[in-house]
Amino acid sequence: MKDYKDPYFKKIISYSFKKKKFKFVVAHTLFSTFKIDMGSNLLLKTIKVDSSPERILDLGCGYGTLGVVLATLFSKAKIIMSDKDLLAIKYSGYNCRLNKVSNVEMVGGVGIENVAFESYDLIVSNIPAKIGDLAIEQEFILKPLKLLKPGGQYWFVVVSGLNRLIPKIGSRNNLNLKKVKKRKGHTVFRVANSI
């Protein structure tokens, strides 16, 4: 990768998870280009699923941290990685090839607009904090939940500033929402589809 020619290229980040080593190429303008985001790291360490999911959605995938790691852990699953930023989609593709994962598909689109044709066993997201409360509620919580298969789970992480919002969304929409883990700066939540 020393000879990397993409004009947006910034550097390569190394990451270890469950004794597996990953490398991620990152672009200058993408989220968390210094190191793997602490929220994404916490989410990966927290996710627990009872069985092997067949279809996984990484919503707001950035340069692909969550999707690439999950594609490695669940090699028989189909992973859909979606982001509104086409540069993020491009770098997710680079990182899938760099980490030799082929059970993935990258999809550009805002929210779930281009991934809503399927249902998923597992949805994951590091929810962006700066998109506004209504967009968080509609685009990153309520609409994705409609895509969960019966028994499916949606695991997401938010910055601590959103801890005021997420429980309210859960209460007013009667969600099966659980705060699973809190660390300095981030909180992981899980919503289970018990239907």
Q: Is the pLDDT of residue 1 over 60?
A: no
Q: What is the pLDDT of residues 74-118, one digit of tens each?
A: 999 999 999 999 999 999 999 999 999 999 999 999 999 999 999
Residue 84: both structure tokens together: 């509104």
Q: Is 177 helix (H, G, I), strand (E, B) or coil?
A: strand
**155 near 123, Cβ under 8 Å?**
yes
Reported as type and span, the H/E element at residue 137 is helix 133-137
Distance CA 86, CA 118 (A): 21
Task: List domains and CATH numbers for the chain.
Answer: 36-192 (3.40.50.150)
Quote the mean pLDDT of the chain.
92
Give the per-residue pLDDT at 4. Answer: 61
Q: How many angstroms separate the CA atoms of 143 and 39, rounded? A: 22
Say how far apart CA 24 and CA 181 lie, in whole Å. Answer: 26
Which helix (H) or strand (E) segment holds residue 89: the answer is helix 86-98
